Structure 1
Amino acid sequence: MPETSIIIRSFNEAEYIGDVLEAVEQQEYRDFEIILVDSGSTDGTLEISEEYVDETEFIAPQNFTFGYSCNVGCEAASGEFVSFLSAHAIPTDDQWLGTMIENLYEGDVVMTYSNQVGAEETKFSERRLFNELFPEERKRQTGPDYWANNAGSAIKKELWEEHQFDEYLTGHEDIEWAKHFIDWGYTVVYEPDACVYHIHDETWEQVFNRFEREAIADVEIGIKSPSDRWREYLSTPTDILGDTIAALREGSINIKTFSNIVKFRYNQHMGTASGLQSERDLSRPVRILL
């Protein structure tokens, strides 16, 4: 029985999943199995994955939610630890998994999550956002710092058995899970020495939708409120200005870069503001398509 089960959730991820799985195969820490949770891929993802994965679990696209797919993977996992890795998040070196798992040997640590950086194709503003969300310093988090991210993370399965991922959130199932245990006195560790290239190949509409659904979830979790939308309105010009100055200092500013800065920050903050004031019926379970 492996010590760790790696759960990779996929839906039409053929562009990057081969690189992801090859990077996993190169890990120095070897005591793991790989479980793919797929929700209807038709682009060759399954064919690329079959030589790497130990087990594939299938869920219907109409049943997909982030929490549900995590729970399906955890139910299939045989390891003491469960690691989550996005199908478009590529470990940057062969120490990624082992460095994260080391943190779980500490008795009070329930979850650890890795650093994230942009790849060559990452939008300028998102690269800056990664730097803000994933700093250079290791953190042992307690409330009210509930941030966590399942693009690259690891948890103790025995604690998942006590509290599973919320299957009806529109995002941030990782934060809800971390908050539950932090509020019970456990610790979440941010491990900057474990790192992935997290690649979001999105249209501007998809950027807006991502931040909108995450904000809807944040209100449900209780870490944000509708009144926080005013901060988003104010942050839009501030972040555009900050990104533009940073691009000027780097010598990378041009019309395309500036246009992308404006579009990214607008969709980030307006999507968040829209989600914060969503009129979704919070008592009614909703699942979304991937």
Structure 2
Amino acid sequence: MAAYVYGGQIGGNGSRFSETQIFEKYFPPTSKIPQEGFFCNNANAALRKDIWCKNRFNEELTGLEDMELAKRLVQQNMKIAYIADAKVYHLHDESWLKVRRRYEREAIALQYVMPQVHVHFSDFLRYYVSAVLSDIGCALQERKLMAVYREILMFRLMQYWGTYRGNHEHRKLSKEMKEMYFFPK
């Protein structure tokens, strides 16, 4: 039996093209009961009450509280399940600045959830170019490239620049704290 269950997500008519590509990546058409790992998204999730009473979200995180909770549950030998058919529309009506800030917040939180993940500037470039090319290929297949190519460029720029900045900001703060603690007088 799964302790934490989440369902699929899809974009709506107002969704940005690249975000719908992200939904397709993270919410595939096949359920995984139980799944491997601790990816989870609380935009469409259920958690057993007895487990919730003992395991709350970490409200100090700037995002990814769902993954952090799922990680703790997996560490307690509990199961996470993904139900593909339980779909909801997940809509973000955000300015480009808010998209960037969302990914910054998530990257800061990811350092807590997965401290081994480091995003370097070369990663930013590689992820950006790769995602843009992938999105352009999908948009070409769907015959909507001309309508969405600017949006693809901006969304992926804000996504990966925000991720880089959030990851880098955490490392910069960590360096300042290390210098305060370890540097003699």
- The CA deviation at 1:114 is 0.9
Partner of 1:179: 71
Higher helix share: 2
Does the 8 Å CA contact 2:119/2:164 hold for their aligned counterparts? no
1:128-156, Cα deviation, whole Å (9 max, x unpaired): 111001101111223xx211011010001
Does the 8 Å CA contact 1:224/1:276 hold for their aligned counterparts? no
Q: Does 1:257 align with 2:151?
A: no
Partner of 2:24: 131
Partner Cα separation in structure 2 for residue 149 and residue 225 of structure 1: 19
Q: Any idea what SS the aligned residue of 1:225 has?
A: coil
Partner of 1:158: 50
Q: Any idea what SS the aligned residue of 2:14 has?
A: coil
Report how many aligned residue pairs link the two structures: 172
Q: Any idea what SS the aligned residue of 1:220 has?
A: helix
Partner of 1:270: 161
Does the 8 Å CA contact 2:119/2:163 hold for their aligned counterparts? no
Partner of 1:237: 129
Q: 1:196 aligns with which of 88, 91, 104?
A: 88
1:22-61 equivalences in 2 (<5 Å): none
1:83-124, Cα deviation, whole Å (9 max, x unpaired): xxxxxxxxxxxxxxxxxxxxxxx2xx1100010000001011
Task: Give 4+ residue runs of structure 1 displaced > 6 Å after superposition.
Answer: none
Instruction: Return the TM-score normalized by structure 1.
Output: 0.56
Partner Cα separation in structure 2 for residue 259 and residue 168 of structure 1: 35
Query: Among the aligned pairs, what percent are the same residue?
Result: 33
Partner of 2:101: 209
Partner Cα separation in structure 2 for residue 137 and residue 232 of structure 1: 30
Q: Any idea what SS the aligned residue of 1:147 has?
A: coil
Report the CA distance shift for 1:146/1:233 in structure 2 as closer, same or farther (over 3 A). farther
Partner Cα separation in structure 1 for residue 88 and residue 157 of structure 2: 26
Report the CA distance shift for 1:229/1:163 in structure 2 as closer, same or farther (over 3 A). farther
Higher strand share: 1
Instruction: Return the TM-score normalized by structure 2.
Output: 0.87
- The CA deviation at 1:162 is 1.8
Report the CA distance shift for 1:203/1:218 in structure 2 as closer, same or farther (over 3 A). same
Partner Cα separation in structure 2 for residue 171 and residue 125 of structure 1: 20
Partner of 2:35: 141
Partner Cα separation in structure 2 for residue 180 and residue 130 of structure 1: 24
Q: Any idea what SS the aligned residue of 1:138 has?
A: coil
Unaligned runs of 5+ in 2: 175-185
Partner Cα separation in structure 2 for residue 117 and residue 227 of structure 1: 27
Report the CA distance shift for 1:162/1:189 in structure 2 as closer, same or farther (over 3 A). same
Report the CA distance shift for 1:228/1:110 in structure 2 as closer, same or farther (over 3 A). farther
Partner Cα separation in structure 2 for residue 152 and residue 223 of structure 1: 26
Q: Any idea what SS the aligned residue of 2:12 has?
A: coil
1:20-41, Cα deviation, whole Å (9 max, x unpaired): xxxxxxxxxxxxxxxxxxxxxx
CA RMSD of aligned residues (A): 1.7
- The CA deviation at 1:224 is 4.8
- The CA deviation at 1:230 is 3.8
Q: 1:248 aligns with which of 140, 143, 148?
A: 140
Q: Any idea what SS the aligned residue of 2:3 has?
A: strand
- The CA deviation at 1:257 is 0.9
Partner of 2:179: none
